[in-house]
Structures are given as C-alpha cells and as structure tokens.
C-alpha cells in the first residue's frame, strides 16, 4: 500500500514539473549599461509585482536571461538596476513577443 501511494505521489509530482516547464520562454536582454539585480514580472491585469525571478543572479550589461512564464498572456516587467533605476515594460504579449530589451 505504501509503495502504491509513493508511486502515485511521484507520478503526480512529475506531471506537475512537466506542466510547470511547459509555459512560454521569453529572453530578456540587458541594454541598460549597468547590472540588473532584480526582475519582477506580473500579469498586466494585476497591480502587484510577483517575486524577483533572478534570485541570487545578476544580469550583466549586454547579457540575456531566459525566463519561463507560467502561461501565455499579457505581462508587465520591471527591472531594477544596481543603482536603483527602475525599467518598466508594460503590456508585453506572449506569445507574440519572445525577446524584450531593457533600455
């Protein structure tokens, strides 16, 4: 019985991981000339930013990071540079756009 429950739980977890990895990917390019420390993304129909998608990583000038979104839709992006400058892009339609440039 325990073995059956464990196998079912593993199958469910595998399905969840595959589902989570099936969203669209968008490339974000840093053309600001300064390191980007935070990138926040949210759906355009909300007033709140989600968690930072860079985590402990830094997006260096000229660098690109690929970000997997949970689903297609219209998204807003906010990048925060090392000096605190904020770069906001609103209403990015995905699919349709698969690459954005922060300038």
Measured at the CA of 12, the angle between CA 27 and CA 6, to 5 degrees, comes to 135
98 within some domain? yes
Q: Is the peptide bond before 95 cis (omega within 30 degrees of 0)?
A: yes
47 within some domain? yes
Give the CATH number, domain containing residue 76: 2.60.40.2890
Q: What was the pLDDT predicted at 21?
A: 59
Q: What was the pLDDT predicted at 22?
A: 77
9 within some domain? no
12 within some domain? no
76 within some domain? yes
Q: pLDDT per position in the chain (103 positions), as tens?
A: 544 444 454 445 444 444 445 799 999 999 999 999 999 999 999 999 999 999 999 999 999 999 999 999 999 999 999 999 999 999 999 988 899 999 9
Domain that holds residue 46: 24-102
56 within some domain? yes
11 within some domain? no
Q: How many domains does the chain have?
A: 1
pTM of the model: 0.76
Q: What was the pLDDT predicted at 97?
A: 81
């Amino acid at each position: 019985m325990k073995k059956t429950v464990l196998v079912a739980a593993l199958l469910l977890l595998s399905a969840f991981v595959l589902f989570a990895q099936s969203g669209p990917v968008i490339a974000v390019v840093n053309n600001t000339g300064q390191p980007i420390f935070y990138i926040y993304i949210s759906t355009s129909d909300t007033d709140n930013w989600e968690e930072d998608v860079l985590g402990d990583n830094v997006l260096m000038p000229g660098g690109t990071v690929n970000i997997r979104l949970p689903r297609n839709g219209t998204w807003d992006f906010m990048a925060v540079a090392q000096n605190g400058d904020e770069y906001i892009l609103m209403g990015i339609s995905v699919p349709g756009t698969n690459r954005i440039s922060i300038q």
